[in-house]
Amino acid sequence: MHVDLICHPDTPARSVERIRATFAPSGYRPTMLEYRVFASGGLAVPTPGRVERSGELWKTTCFELFTREVPDDSYFEFNFSPSRAWAAYRFDSYRKGMRDLPLAPPKIDFWSDVTGCSLRVALDLIAPWTGPSRSGLSAVIEEVDGTKSYWALANPNPEKPDFHHPDCFAIELPPLV
């Protein structure tokens, strides 16, 4: 499935035209993600390195996935950087009870060209549920001049970006069979 992310109105991008995400859920929840940033240049991206767990990736360019079982309040957050650093957390409810989620390192590929950049993730996640679920995709994009734009499937809070907001979990997935 292909979806376009929407830039939060209070954080306009200067050189980013759009972000398209490809989301491929399967018996696992989800297993493959690709984010394609269409930009006229000037993106600040960390230098690719080793795949390793790290924190505070959202402080610069990074791509995110949120997923939860319906109607449960607990959810998972995953962050992926062009540097190939990653993070995975579990929350008990909206921004509460955050802790590291044990997970095998994902496979992260990043490349850029004159039209922008792409990040592809293969995530080995076996969700602990079989019922319907909801997921959200988002991105923080930093440009070389320091401009940061925040992109998501939905922007329910008009005052500031909030990827944890339940309305950002805009993709509904059916129960596993």
> Model confidence over 83-113: pLDDT tens digits?
999 999 999 999 999 999 998 999 999 999 9
DSSP codes, 124-135: ----S--S-EEE
- State both tokens at 148: 């940061």
Residue 4 near residue 19 (C-beta atoms within 8 A): yes
pLDDT score of 69: 87
Any idea what the CATH number is for the domain that residue 24 is in?
A: 2.60.40.1190
When pLDDT is averaged across residues 126-143 and rounded to a whole number, the result is 86
Burial class (CB in 10 A: 0-12, 13-18, 19+), 69: buried
Domain total for the chain?
1
Supply the pLDDT for residue 120. Answer: 97
pLDDT tier, 133 (very low <50, low <70, confident <90, very high otherwise): confident
Q: What pLDDT is stored for residue 173 in this prediction?
A: 81
Q: Give the domain extent around 11.
A: 2-173
Whether the Cβ atoms of residue 78 and residue 91 lie closer than 8 Å to each other:
no
